[in-house]
Structure 1
Amino acid sequence: MTKDKGQITVVINLGYGNLLSGFPNVTALLWEPENPRPLKFIGALPPATELDAIYRRWQLIYHALYRTPGWRPRIKIDREDITNVSQVEFADICVQYVQLIDEWLNAEEFRNIDRQLRSHLHHSDEIQVILETDDDRLRHLPWHFWKFLSDYPKAELALSAPQYQRVEKSHRREQMRILAILGDSNGIDIARDRSTLLELSDAETVFLVEPSRQEVDEQLWDDRGWDILFFAGHSESQEEGTRGLVAINPRDKLGIYHLKLALKTAIARGLQLAIFNSCDGLGLAKELADLQIPHIIVMRESVADGVAHLFLVNFVKAFSSGSSFYLAVRQARERLQGLEDQFPCASWLPVICQNPAEVPMQWRSPPVVETQQSSKVRDRWVGVIPLAVTLILLLIRQLGLLEGWELKAYDHFMRSRPSEPLDSRILIVEITESDVQSKEEYPISDATLTQLLQKLELHQPRAVGLTLYRDLPVPPGHAELRVQMQQQSNLVAVCSFDKSYGGPVRSPVGIPTNQLGFDDVLIDPDGVLRRHLLFMSTTSECNTGFSLSFQLAQKYLAAEKIFPNNQGIKDNPLHLGKAILNPLELNSGGYKTLPQGGWYGMLNYRSFPIAQTLTLTEVLNGEFNPNLVKDRIVLIGLTSKVNAKAFFTPYGVGKSPSEKVPGVMIQAQKVSEILSAALDGRPMIKVWSGWGEVIWIGLWSGVGSAIAWCIRGRLRRVSAIPLAIAFLYLLCYLLFLQSTWVPLIPPALALVIGHLSLVLGPLRRNKGQGTNDN
């Protein structure tokens, strides 16, 4: 007795007896991987006359069902034998049948074996259960309803003759060879079985379509031998299940005895498995077992065409993908249950017939046969392709063809980050559409603005940022506003270099330079605001080199004894508290080119809303908590959709339709970014150096080529590419959570192109020269 390392084998011998008289001497042998000597348990099974009777009734109705139109069984039937059959009655019979099997196998006489096996086995063990019996009635029973098998998800039962021996093999092949006999297809569609076998790129399959007896015999004698013999078509058992016939063409039927010598030779040359994907195959299995073939798969009863095909698809997929033989059969059998509303008892049909003296077979992949020349060619291409793909992607990237995709990926990562709490250091005073209409001013007069500033000043804000332009008077009250702005040292007014909104906009008259900031922004070509402009050269119209956000942050941080160094010095980092701010360089991140002039970085948005808000009316009426103002930065600006200057952000473009954000909210984002970096250590958005990104893209091009070269099997490779892209996405996302923007689109393209370049180029050529691509 041999066994597969790592698998547990249980051989149950029922001894003499039958269902009517019982089985008084049942023995079970248990082989464990770490012990070459078996454990032995004994038990018995009582008579089961009711089970015998209900099986006869079940089989009668089952066969009648398969004679109804539409079932297309893989057995030829006489349509004049059609009878009316109640599927409801059949369902009741099935329930009784299963219940009687359960009661029989749960009998006290048999429970010793059941208990002993459970005490030595774990639910995760892979178990081959082999039942030794010659009784045809027992071989037809659906043994998978034994509770032991359902409780052990990696166990499957096989049938065996009581006597068996091992056949010495004279051939050992590295690649699977399959002889597929496609017999009489009258009334069924076995072409689908052929398509399934054709998809096996790692096996050599020879098809015989409706062959003659001589053609079958000749192929079985092939000197190279076979691993699997497959038959699809019509078949049947005869003589109480001791013999079987297969219809190899519309005229001829063959039995195993017709091919006995050829089959014995094929088994000696390595034939390991015979699959009869056809009806009533236990007679065929009985004859083949007498020839000591290692494994057989047959259907216990008549089988519908669709059931037979689905079993083949799932078995081949599982077995060729690395599952063990027994697990592949169990998976394929259990997946037939989904058809049982149309084809009752479909999952009862497939059964293994095993020679216990043989080790369960494994699927073999073909060897990679390389000549020295092909090896050198391979090595050269494996090295050249990633480099070539990387250079091509860098050129495409430099031309700006990927910039739109990369910026969309950036926006996606920005939106996908977890939400952050409101910034408690900032308050936004909104001038809403209702405020504008109630004042009947556009947008508000100097008098109203003076009143607002005075109201806020009473509650001691640390800084006040005015995003309303006041280069020209908005009467009434201009003189009073001018005095208020000159006297309020914590106020920062705004000017602009931008000409697109009717600018540039001059500074308010009399405002000191340290109370002035520009509100200019950098819009990307797709209309989205992603960058934070901090410093620019001064002009006569806007006499400041600092942004409004930076001026407000400076005033807030000064109270914390935090002051910047290197401020505004071109190309130098800015140190501010815990923050180190580095300006973006040309070709940073996903940008093709970035304009020169000005000092800017990526704007590290918080999710919206950014801070608490009050309306103009609420402040003027005193309808707010003074603590919302004290020691905060207060930003004043328009949020009216009619009048406010607004911008698209990574958050807004992710919605349909896209939404714009008022300028005052953008300024709040910028101020919050600086404060959070300086005080909390919240990182600014960083990008890798140019060489870092080149190495990153080249690395993923190499991953794509490695998948093509190292993973055997087309399905496995196809599955590996999405997994690799998912891993790349995860890495990019995790880095973005740490505020590091690394490319996603170029390396993903490099991975796919590097993979396809090798698969469609050198791999295909090498395959034709002897290298097998699985």
Structure 2
Amino acid sequence: MNVSKNPTAKLKRKISEWRGVLFTAPTVTGLIIILRLTGLLQSLEWAALDQFYRRRPAEAIDDRIVIVGINESDLKRIGKWPISDEILTKLLLKIKAQQPRAIALDLYRDLPVESGHQELVKVFESTPNLIGIEKVVGNESGLAISPSPVLSRLGRVAANDVVLDSDGKIRRGVLFLTPENKNPIPSLGLSLAMIYLQAEGITPQSAENGSLKLGKTVFVPFEASDGSYVGADAGGYQILLNFRGRSGNFPTVSMMDILANRIPADLVRDRASAPLRDRIVLIGPTAASLNDFFYTPYSGGLRDSVQRMTGVEIHAHLTSQILSAAIEGRSLIKTWPDPLEYGWIFLWSCVGAVLSWQLQSWRWTAGSALVAISGLLGGSFLAFLNSWWIPVIPPILSFSSSTVAIVAYIAQIERQDRKTVMNLFGRHVNPQIAEAIWRDRDQFLNDGRLKGQRLTATVLFTDLKDFSTIAENLEPEVLMSWLNEYMEAMSQLVLANGGVVDKFIGDAVMAVFGVPIPSTTEDAIANDAKAAVHCALQMGATLELLNELWKTQGRPIVAMRVGIATGTVVTGSLGSSQRLDYTTIGDSVNVAARLESYDKSIDGGLCRILINEETYQYIHGSFVTKLIASVQLKGREQMTPIYQVLLEC
């Protein structure tokens, strides 16, 4: 049956060839996904996300929001903390006079502070666009903190809670908190944005699955497994924070500058006379000593090893994100669903496995891997620039793991193939042939066996005259030593002439010229035949030297017979899985054996060499020969011309 025309056979062959890739890619993918689900990759993926934030170009300053910061200089001027109700009243009146759209007081005011409390209450009651804060959820840094009783009674209180990841950084913003047995409480950022958007004619609407829709954007709630998160606390209504950039993305003025009427004229665009009009004003501490700072994705970089962002600025980023999304359609940070992320990991596992399998070279694989990983990082960063957060670390790990696994698999196959070649050939080929076999091993090997192939080769058989008589008269140890010395010398001559020692049979040697790398031209086949005859002549010369040595040692001296036949043979692995031998079979093998044993009375000196007609045709003109006879050899129907080689021309 022709395998090339059998689709099933072709498929099976392909599966066999690619079984390492077919096994490695899904296995590595499964292991990486399991590793990811344990949360062990979470911190690495956060680190990659942080790098994307740092390298993304900062967006334009959002002058819809102005921060009134209470800095170290302000604290020195007032000489105490918290600031008194009297000073806070003056500050709020100054700001209110400029007609901002919303005012946020990011200061806890659950208790009166010194004098001026009644005046502060009046300001609270007369400023409908003023929002106070409360801390809803207690944590390691403190207990929940109640809001101002006045603002709470007026329903103008928001939560200023922030969500910290396990590495202490803020990457998520809160829209609503849902305390147990209480109504949802909006965050400070959302409350300010809602006041601003209401003036723009944008009101909240309910979208699919109860999501909040504001203007051009639906705010899809954060889920516990979004992005690289594993089992995150998704309580309340959270979104991924899409920071505008590092610190300094909002116009900022100090508290004392407000009180002293020193607001810079160019604080915001087109508002020289009233810089705060129609703006959102966020009042909060910015002094380092007050420690209202948080780590963000911009903390920990090479340039910003200790940079932290103030709490008031984090609220400003959330407010800005909501406004930009609702008014301008600025995209939120989006993530893929889990099945798509798993498919992404599998894709890169396949890329790593296929790439390393196809290249099968450490140098090329390493270079290609560098290019592939660079492309992955670059593509992921471009996706982030378009507000998509896609996995980076898992695909890099799956790609790298598959690459290493396939390289190791290839190395294991090579070790097995080398072992197969060495087991099959051992010392029976010269280094040049062994190197050629190893270089083209894919053509020769098939499942640990050498593939059977039909080719034209020259077979050489040798045998010692009267060996049985000699063996009877020698001690076994002496016989084996003497015979091994002879075999060693003869096999070295075979290798030196480019032949393969097929086997030793008692005192006989079988060698083949033109295998396992087939000779495909007439000239190459002729060279094989000439090499075999030249080898036989060298055997005779070497035997003469051995006889001289053995004679001095008192050991037997012998003569030998050689039969050489050129023709079609079949070569390959023969045997069981426990024991394999490389061998040559075919009619030419039988002819060479018959020529060696033909008419032992024909004199040939120390080394009688008989060849068949085909060998004669290939060596004619290179050696002195004579026709002995044309006979019907045992097992053959046709007559076989027999020639004797006398010497080289």
Tell me if the contact between 2:223 and 2:234 (Cα under 8 Å) persists in the aligned partners: no
Normalising by structure 2, report the TM-score. Answer: 0.59
Distance 1:651 1:494 in 2: 26
| Distance change in 2, residues 1:683/1:513 (3 Å) | farther
Residues 636/493 of structure 1: CA separation in 2 closer, same or farther (3 Å cut): same
1:528 matches 2:166: no
**Mapped contact 1:385–1:754 kept (Cα < 8 A):** yes
- In the TM superposition, residue 475 of structure 1 has moved relative to its aligned partner by 1.3
Q: Find the residue that maps to 2:206 and give its secondary structure.
A: coil
- Alignment match, 1:502: 142
What is the rounded CA distance, in whole Å, between the counterparts of 1:543 and 1:447 in structure 2?
33
Deviation at 1:377, TM superposition (A): 2.7
Q: 1:633 aligns with which of 280, 283, 287?
A: 280
Aligned pairs for 1:131-142 within 5 A = none
> 1:680 offset after TM fit, Å?
1.5
Q: Does residue 545 of structure 1 match 2:545? A: no
Counterpart CA distance in 2 for 1:771 and 1:471 is 81
Distance 2:115 2:67 in 1: 25
Whether 2:616 is the aligned partner of 1:616: answer no
Q: 1:677 aligns with which of 302, 318, 325?
A: 325
**3-state SS of 1:628 partner:** coil
Match of 1:442 in 2: 81
Aligned-partner SS, 1:441: coil
d(CA) in 2 for partners of 1:636 and 1:544? 24
CA contact (8 A) 2:360 2:410 kept: no
% identical equivalent positions: 35
Superposition deviation, residue 658 in structure 1:
1.7
| 1:514 Cα deviation after fit | 4.4
- Is 1:642 aligned to residue 281 of structure 2? no
Shift in CA distance, 767/465, structure 1 to aligned 2, threshold 3 Å: same
- Distance in 2 separating the partners of 1:772 and 1:417: 52
1:481-630 alignment runs, 5 A limit: 481-500=120-139, 501-511=141-151, 512=153, 514-538=155-179, 545-566=185-206, 572-607=210-245, 608-624=247-263, 625=265, 626-630=273-277
Q: Distance in 2 between matches of 1:737 and 1:372?
A: 43
- Give, as a single letter, the amino acid of the residue that structure 2 aligns with 1:479: Q
Could you list the per-position Cα deviations for residues 234-286 of structure 1 after superposition, in whole angstroms to 9, with x for gaps in the alignment? Answer: xxxxxxxxxxxxxxxxxxxxxxxxxxxxxxxxxxxxxxxxxxxxxxxxxxxxx
The code of the aligned residue for 2:367 comes to S
2: CA distance between counterparts of 1:390 and 1:539? Answer: 40
- For residue 442 of structure 2, give the secondary structure of its aligned residue in structure 1: coil
Q: Is the 8 Å Cα contact of residues 360 and 407 (structure 2) preserved in structure 1? A: no
Secondary structure at the residue paired with 2:18? Answer: helix
Q: CA deviation at 1:731?
A: 0.9
1:381 Cα shift? 2.7
Where does 1:161-560 land on structure 2 (aligned, <5 Å)? 375-500=14-139, 501-511=141-151, 512=153, 514-538=155-179, 545-560=185-200
Distance in 2, Cα, partners of 1:409 & 1:457: 43
Per the TM alignment, residue 522 of structure 1 is displaced from its structure 2 partner at its CA by: 0.6
Contact 1:494 1:519 in 2 (8 A): yes
Mapped to 1, the partners of 2:18 and 2:68 lie a distance apart of 66
Q: Secondary structure at the match of 1:723?
A: helix
**Contact map agreement 1:704 1:751 (CA 8 A) in 2:** yes
- Asked whether the equivalents of residues 517 and 545 of structure 1 are also in contact (C-alpha less than 8 Å), the reply is yes
Contact 1:374 1:766 in 2 (8 A): no
Structure 1 residues 151-192: Cα deviation after superposition (integer angstroms, max 9, x where no partner): xxxxxxxxxxxxxxxxxxxxxxxxxxxxxxxxxxxxxxxxxx
Code of the aligned partner of 1:490: N
Residue 651 (structure 1) aligned with residue 334 (structure 2): no
Deviation at 1:754, TM superposition (A): 0.9
Q: 1:740 corresponds to which residue?
A: 388
Change in 2 beyond 3 A, CA 1:706/1:446: same
User: Contact 1:701/1:747 (CA < 8 Å) preserved in 2?
Assistant: yes
Contact 1:647 1:660 in 2 (8 A): yes
**1:372 Cα shift?**
9.2
CA displacement, residues 25-47 of structure 1 (integer Å, 9 cap, x when unaligned): xxxxxxxxxxxxxxxxxxxxxxx
Residue 484 (structure 1) shift: 0.9
What RMSD, in angstroms, separates the aligned Cα atoms of the two structures? 2.3
Change (3 A) 1:517 1:374: same
For the residue of structure 2 that corresponds to 1:523, the secondary structure is coil
Hey, what's the Cα distance between the residues in 2 that align with 1:544 and 1:689? Answer: 27
Match of 2:565 in 1: none
Which residue of 2 is the match for residue 668 of structure 1? 316
Report the TM-score, using the length of structure 1 for normalisation.
0.50
What corresponds to 2:346 in structure 1? 698
What is the correspondence of 1:40-119 to structure 2 with a 5 Å cutoff?
none
Check whether the contact 1:703–1:751 (CA below 8 A) recurs between aligned residues. Answer: yes
Q: 1:559 to 1:656 in 2, by over 3 A?
A: closer
- Partner residue in 2 for 1:254: none
Q: Does 1:686 align with 2:334?
A: yes
Deviations along 1:415-447, one digit per CA (max 9) or x if unpaired, are 110111110101000111111121122121111
Structure 1: unaligned runs, 5 residues or longer:
1-369
Task: Quote how far apart the aligned CAs of 1:556 are.
Answer: 0.2
Report deviation, 1:375: 4.4
Q: Which residue of 2 aligns with 1:159?
A: none
The answer (yes or no) to whether the contact 1:531–1:602 under 8 Å persists in 2 is yes
Query: Who is 1:718 aligned against?
Result: 366
Greater CA deviation, 706-715 or 627-636?
Answer: 706-715
Q: 1:543 to 1:475 in 2, by over 3 A?
A: farther
Q: Secondary structure at the match of 2:185?
A: coil
Distance 2:345 2:206 in 1: 34
Corresponding residue for 1:157?
A: none
Q: Displacement of 1:406 after TM fit?
A: 0.4
Give the Å deviation of 1:595: 1.2
Distance in 1, Cα, partners of 2:154 & 2:442: 75
> Residue by residue, what CA displacement relative to the aligned partner does 1:515-541 show, whole Å, maximum 9, x if unpaired?
21100011011111111111112469x
Q: Taking structure 1 as reference, are residues 605 and 656 closer, same or farther at Cα in structure 2, changes over 3 Å only? A: closer
Higher relative CO (Cα under 8 Å, sequence separation at least 6) belongs to 2
Between 621-630 and 683-692, the greater mean CA deviation after superposition: 621-630
Q: Residues of 2 paired with 1:372 and 1:551: CA distance? A: 64
The count of aligned residue pairs is 401
Q: CA deviation at 1:373?
A: 7.5
- Contact 1:482/1:509 (8 A) holds in 2: no
Distance 1:646 1:514 in 2: 28
Name the amino acid aligned to 2:96: E
Distance 1:767 1:533, change over 3 A: same
Cα deviation 1:104-138 (Å, max 9, x = unaligned): xxxxxxxxxxxxxxxxxxxxxxxxxxxxxxxxxxx
CA distance in 1 between partners of 2:23 and 2:184 (Å)? 53
SS at match of 1:653: coil
Is the 2:357–2:410 Cα contact (8 Å) retained in structure 1? no
Kindly indicate whether the alpha-carbon contact (under 8 Å) linking 2:174 and 2:239 is maintained by their aligned counterparts in 1.
Answer: yes
Matched residues in 2 for 1:539 and 1:395: separation?
A: 34
**Which of 724, 728, 736 is matched with 2:376 structurally?**
728
The residue number in structure 1 matching 2:619 is none
Shift of 1:371: 11
